[in-house]
Amino acid sequence: MLSDNDIREVIEKGELKIEPFSEKQLKPAAVSLHLGFNFLKPKPSVTIDPLTDIPERIYCRISLKKNENYILKPNEFILTETLEKIGISKNLGFLVEGTSTMARLGITVVQTAMIVDTGVGFPKPRKITLEIKNNGPNPVVLHPKMRIAKAVVFRLNTPSSYAYDDKRKYKDQTGVGAPKTTTRAEI
């Protein structure tokens, strides 16, 4: 895992891209990420087939304006994006997790997708999708630009043989990404 000094160095070398980036985002061994303005809210009472469904059938798009907030109700789940665009070289790994403050309010920021694959957004940085759920008993106000997550960065022993964006289904994603279907069941 990289320290704040190491993270600063990989940013300076261009191995990690964070746009926008401020020194204030650096933690001792992590970098803070902020909430973006766009959300996908699942439509209620829709039976979803992950092999065939299209995002327009299962999600409502919400785009907040500068001074708007989103109230996340108890047990509500949404997809959202980071404010920052991220680019991860084939030399690095990147894990995203919620902040302890959000966790103490009952908010999970990552359901199971904490690994951001090597080569995502590289060389062209892009926003990362977050899966947010309110597990607490109270509504929680989400403010765009608020600190919502942190990422730890680590160096791979050897670079990956290819970048995620070279071959995968989310490579053209520019903002908050809905799940994409696959043509077959994967085993």
Q: Where are the domains of the chain?
A: 4-46+55-157
Fold adopted by 4-46+55-157: Deoxyuridine 5'-Triphosphate Nucleotidohydrolase; Chain A (2.70.40)
Check residue 53 and give its pLDDT.
76
Q: Which residue has the higher pLDDT, 155 or 113?
A: 155
Contact 99, 140 (CB under 8 A): no
The mean pLDDT value of the chain amounts to 90
Q: What band does 175 get if pLDDT is binned at 50, 70 and 90? A: low
> Which one of the listed residues 15, 76, 97, 131 is annotated catalytic?
131
Tokens encoding 126: 């892009």
Our answer to whether residue 97 is catalytic in this structure is: no
What's the mean pLDDT in 49-53?
81
pLDDT at 54: 77
Q: If you write DSSP's letter for every residue of 67-114 in order, what string do you get? A: T--EEE-TT-EEEEEEEEEEEE-TTEEEEEEE-HHHHHTTEES-SS--
The region of weakest confidence among 22-31, 109-118, 143-152, 165-174 is: 165-174
How many other CB atoms are there within 10 angstroms of residue 54's CB atom? 11
Q: At residue 173, does pLDDT exceed 80? A: no
